[in-house]
Chain A
């Protein structure tokens, strides 16, 4: 077990370093001249040189990378002429657009994205798991077929299409809801929830379909396992067999592995936030890349990538703890 943990930990660290290097290459080494990207075509030589200097682009590349790393782990100083601005670790640089530290930009947007994603996750786990269990217990019957048809349809719908259709139905046609506007939870919890209802379901639909299917398959598989037969052979009540043994066997891997969905959540949040105009991280990354605000995009990608790597490792470890047999294989 210890060795397994250490190995996972070591490979996570390596993965993170590779990712930092990759991001650096994409954003700072690959573009022939980031300064032009920042400033646009109208900029003259003087302006470009100033930007180069401020970003440290006039230094050799390995040094630039070193500073990039240094910024992340211990913080770094940026100098533009006389004034020196210090950026504490983990330093992701400053936005080209408004000179705000990338980290604080992320901090401002984080609550929106967290509100969106946690709510959506609750929705898809609840809907997906219950639909899947229902479908498995009624396998082959009408309920099963209806649930399955719905999940195929939901699964094929891209977020921005299903979101748009929901929007048209509930805002445009039925007028049950207004076009969502973000209201912080701390300000007005009821309005927060009401406004997020559509985004939650939009982000959750396709994923709920995936979970329905995973749960259905898992449940049927578990129910056909030998130990279920054992408990039947010992007269344990069917309700208890399903509720205790089959559920545990089915849900343990599903819930544990849901940590792997982190990457999907981020991408989904990006699309959902753009669709509903919610001021979250997803919208930030889209706006920044349209504005070629490299430090913001790089910083966000880094944070997102790191979060995903950490989440995946957490899922691995969690799974290993829940089911020790994994480690042995």
Chain B
């Protein structure tokens, strides 16, 4: 290894323990991790939640100090061991030689100060520059990261920026002192896919211009494949595999990496063709929903969350609905199951117009229209046992108590839960298990149409794959028609027969899945597809 290739960062046997609050056994979050980051290079750390990837990233800046965590091993930043330096020396490294950006750019900035001031503060801390010079530097870096009209926008406060702009501002803060290394902890996970693409492009560009090295922490293998040269796969605090991205992703050596890769839904792999779908089960025509925008001007500012959407869902098919945040996909889903009243338009289900049906007459139809929710925490009543939660819909519809509980236990077994735990409370289960409960509850009435609103977005990829598998099996068994709403184009492709794309409340394109992904007609669909990072 020649001198020019000497790593800027060299980590050896990094171990992080979090002592238990009540004096019990310490939790080992990271165990003996070692890696090198070459000057100007890019290393990705991937893993599911709990793998210790973020803990590792924070340790690189010495951010576990004062938290009570025990950090051991060497973290060599050039000739300095971050783990051995005194607090003051570490403080002087941070932001100047190694800078970090975070997942949620809104909460990562102080809401009370102007963005320019926050960047200036960092710059002045390390350079001792005057107010004016620091402000000029702030404007310069904001301009560099593509904030339009930076001199003016530097005076804005974080809440006046969009999500993508905030992440740009945070990147600008990182650039201010021209660090050797940028540590990015899930920098795009909170962003829409098109914005994500822009931010990742920006990071690429800055790396090329400044020569700074990148350490990218993410759960998303697509992002890794697109943005870094080397990758380190972590599981339960340990390094599973490390190597060049192309090798690790194409021919993984370790079973865990293989399993992880197999679980990732592929945007370029269509689902196997299924039997012909039947006639429309649900038809939506001109469906519109308006909301009053809060904090608007004097006039009632009306926002059309869903704007004149017409589509049908055919018996036995899965209709995927994709869109970014604010596209109106969730509003549409909630109107279809009559949780939200439409402002205009009609919903015809199994030949009956249910748009304005009063609650009492809607009740028998409710049996056929069920929903699986995104958030497995808020979708189960924390004060009711799992068995009760699953049996409740049956009880409401008039089934006897004993019979309802018996069915609930059967359903628990069917969705892969231990029926013996029917008298436990939801918080005793994992996220994936709770999502199974949500599915069991939705199935208890044997519905015809199941609307799934981002059912796997809160889950890790491997759990996500299991839930998708479960849904697909249940679809066959229960002859379900499914409307599958998601922001994730790959997941949607994997499960859907036909796909609808929504943008700003409008339905921009609806086609057979293969057709839509391979030959998108609408401009927006093309943009969306181009933005998705594809696994190499």
Contacts and interface: CB of A to CB of B under 8 A. Distances in A.
A235 B108 contact: no
A229 interface: yes
B125 A227 contact: no
Highest count of chain A CB atoms <10 Å: which of B92, B110, B298: B110
Contacts of B104: 226
B109 A236 contact: no
B75 to A, nearest CB: 15
Interface residues on A, range: 20 to 34
Interface string B105-146: 001111111000000011001100000000000000000000
A323 B111 contact: yes
A324 interface: yes
A6 interface: yes
Contact of A226 (B94, B108, B122): B108
Contacts of A321: none
Given A1-B295, A329-B294, A236 B111 contact: no
Contacts of B295: 1, 3-4, 327-328
B91 A235 contact: yes
A35 B92 CA distance: 80
B298 A6 contact: yes
A232 B63 contact: yes
B351 interface: no
Contacts of B92: 235
B297 A3 contact: yes
A227 B109 contact: yes
Given A233-B95, A234-B173, A236-B121, A227 B110 contact: yes
A235 B93 contact: yes
B63 A229 contact: yes
A225 interface: yes
B329 to A, nearest CB: 23
A329 B111 CA distance: 15
Contacts of B122: 231, 234-236
A324 B112 contact: no
Interface stretch (A48-56, A244-252, A264-272, A299-307): A244-252
A192 B365 CA distance: 77
Contact of A237 (B91, B107, B108, B297): B91
Nearest to A234: B95
A2 interface: yes
Identify whether the interface residues of B are mostly helix, strand, loop, or mixed.
Answer: loop
Interface residues of B, number: 32
B298 A249 contact: no
A227 B106 CA distance: 9
Contacts of B125: 234-237, 240
B102 interface: yes
Interface string A1-23: 11110100000000000000000
A245 to B, nearest CB: 5
A299 to B, nearest CB: 37
Contacts of B170: 230
Contacts of A236: 95, 121-122, 125
A234 B108 contact: no
A1 B296 CA distance: 7
A232 B110 contact: no
A235 B111 contact: no
Nearest to A327: B295
Interface string B24-36: 0000000000000
A116 to B, nearest CB: 33
Given A237-B91, A325-B111, A230 B298 contact: no
21 contacts: A1-B295, A225-B107, A229-B108, A230-B102, A231-B121, A231-B122, A233-B61, A233-B100, A234-B122, A235-B92, A235-B93, A235-B95, A235-B126, A236-B122, A236-B125, A240-B121, A245-B110, A249-B111, A324-B157, A327-B295, A328-B295
Interface of B: 61, 63, 91-96, 99-100, 102, 104, 107-113, 121-122, 125-126, 157, 159, 170, 173, 294-298
Interface of A: 1-4, 6, 225-227, 229-237, 240, 245, 248-249, 252, 323-325, 327-329
Given A227-B107, A230-B170, 19 more contacts: A2-B297, A2-B298, A227-B108, A227-B111, A229-B108, A230-B102, A232-B63, A233-B61, A233-B99, A233-B100, A234-B94, A234-B95, A235-B93, A235-B122, A236-B95, A237-B91, A245-B112, A248-B112, A327-B295
